[in-house]
Amino acid sequence: MSRFGTRGPALVAAGLAGMLVVSGCSGQSLEGGGDKAAAGQVTLKVNFWGDMGLDKLKAAYEKDHPNVKIVLNSGEYNAQHEDLQKKLVAGSGAPDISAIDEGFIVQFRGQADKFVNLLDKGAGSYESKYLPWKWQQSLSSDGKQIGLGTDVGGLAMCYRTDLFKKAGLPTDRAEVSKLWATWDDFIDVGKTYVSKTGKKFVDSGTNMFNPVLAQQPQGFYNEQEQLQMDGGPKVAFDVSMKAIQAGLSANLASFQPNWDQGFKKDQFAVLACPAWMLGHIQDTAPEQKGKWDIATIPGGGGNWGGSWWTVPKQGKNVDEAYKFVEWMVQPQQQIEVFKTVGNLPSQPALYKDPAVLDYKKEFMSNAPTGQIFASTAENLKPQYLGKKNGPTRVAVENVITRVQQGSLAPDKAWDEAVKQAQKVATS
């Protein structure tokens, strides 16, 4: 997941139902370490965001490993990464296992000395199983592997068939895909929807910015870590401004409570949909089963999100932590997560497994999610994401949010976005 961003795109305040939900601003502790309730008993604390399908995995692992207790800490996307950074600098308090999203992986692989080098644990045998770029993204410049990949975030577009029908728009996924070959086409469809219904079309301008940016040859930074705002970021920013000025955006901050309410109250009809987003939709609005479907995304392709499991060195149970990470990336668990929440594995052999390839998501009108997302993942050409990609994205998203809220004029927004991005780049 980037999820969001990230999974992403992007990314997530909603926690696992019934699980412990922790955010960086909740006032609750995110402390890690190796609590031992009894001799031989090991507690592993796992930090992540959103729903990564861990509830079933936790139960299965604890059943087979009665000496291990898994504590799941789901928090807000940015806050979890910020908290991990603080704990690494402090030298204590990090979880035993931490998920890291693609938007932050370059930042953290630059601190490889603070993570267990998984190659020392035998992880080298997994290199051939991963998409080559996925393996490389978590590999430090001095050859240390800080993480094992969870998923990738190939892009599609999720839409509400019932709301489209009310607006007089097609509902069949093939026909809907034909409506928007380009982002300009997409905005035109949105204008039609708004005029017919009086309701907003998309959830947020930031959730247009991120997928468009993901489709560009270059993101915020080049491989020399130089900020490149006039390339992909300008293209994506312009699209988001067009959508906002056309009145399409419901101005709902992603992965916040009002965004979740937006799903339930039909406040938008479409949203950019990397594979990991399916689980969030299903968890947030279970009563909408059969009302969602999946079409192709304007512009074609792109990757938004996708994460890695890492083991901070400061943990007291690094061996047990690695064993759990290794178990989570096995095919059986990866397929279980895909079926449960939609996260697409980053091991391409699984794309040919009938359990993935033939899978249809009942919740999403029986959309062939295995075929849809497997085909996008195999053709991905990922961007280079710089060391400061995460905080730079947040800075630009904040500017877009200000425009949506009416506190910043659209014609002044780009200069402000560049200014804020440069602050991050030079900090």
Question: What's residue 14's pLDDT?
Answer: 34
Contact 237, 219 (CB under 8 A): no
Distances (CA, A) of 222 to 92, 301, 389, 391: 33, 20, 11, 16
Which secondary structure element, helix H or strand E, spans residue 46, and what is its range?
Answer: strand 42-49
Q: pLDDT band for position 26 (50/70/90)?
A: very low
The residues, any chain, with a CB within 8 Å of residue 125's CB and separated by 6 or more, are none
Q: How buried is 202 (Cβ within 10 angstroms: 0-12 exposed, 13-18 middle, 19+ buried)?
A: buried
d(CA 116, CA 32): 15
Strand partners, 48: 74
Question: What's residue 23's pLDDT?
Answer: 32
Q: How buried is 283 (Cβ within 10 angstroms: 0-12 exposed, 13-18 middle, 19+ buried)?
A: middle
Task: Express as a percent the part of the chain with pLDDT over 70.
Answer: 90
Confidence check: pLDDT of 3 > 70 = no
Confidence check: pLDDT of 249 > 60 = yes
Q: Report which DSSP code applies to 349.
A: G
Residue type at position 412:
K
Over range 378-407, report the average pLDDT: 89
Calculate the average pLDDT of the chain: 89
Question: What's residue 39's pLDDT?
Answer: 52
Question: What's residue 22's pLDDT?
Answer: 32
Confidence check: pLDDT of 27 > 80 = no
Q: What is the pLDDT of residues 89-136, one digit of tens each?
A: 999 999 999 999 988 999 999 999 999 999 999 999 999 999 998 999
Q: pLDDT band for position 32 (50/70/90)?
A: very low
Question: What's residue 374's pLDDT?
Answer: 82
Question: What's residue 93's pLDDT?
Answer: 97
Q: What is the pLDDT of residues 287-340, one digit of tens each?
A: 999 999 999 999 877 788 899 999 999 999 999 999 999 999 999 999 999 998
d(CA 277, CA 2): 9
What tokens were used for 14? 């909603």
